[in-house]
Amino acid sequence: MIVFVFLALLQLKVPDAQQLVGAPAGKKLAGAELDQKTMELSQILRCPVCQGLSISDSPSIMAANMRDQVRDLLVQGYSQEQVLKYFEQSYGQFVLLKPKFQGVNTFVWLLPLGALLIGLAITLVKMNKLDAAPAAPAPEAPADDPYVARVRELVEK
Tens of pLDDT along the chain (157 residues)? 555 545 554 554 455 666 566 666 667 777 888 888 888 888 888 888 887 888 888 888 888 888 888 888 888 888 888 888 888 888 878 888 777 777 777 777 788 899 999 999 999 998 888 877 666 676 676 767 888 888 888 888 7
Half-sphere CA count of 151, side-chain side, radius 13 A: 7
- Entry pTM: 0.56
In terms of C-beta density within 10 A (0-12 exposed, 13-18 middle, 19 or more buried), how is residue 47 classed?
buried
Q: CA-CA distance, 67 to 45, in Å (whole number)?
A: 9
Chain centroid to CA 87: how far?
19
Cβ–Cβ < 8 Å for 70, 86: no
The DSSP secondary-structure symbol of 26 reads: S
pLDDT score, position 100: 72
pLDDT score, position 124: 92
The DSSP secondary-structure symbol of 102 reads: S
3-state secondary structure 36-99: HHHHHHHHHEECCCCCCCECCCCCCHHHHHHHHHHHHHHHHCCCHHHHHHHHHHHHCHHHECCC
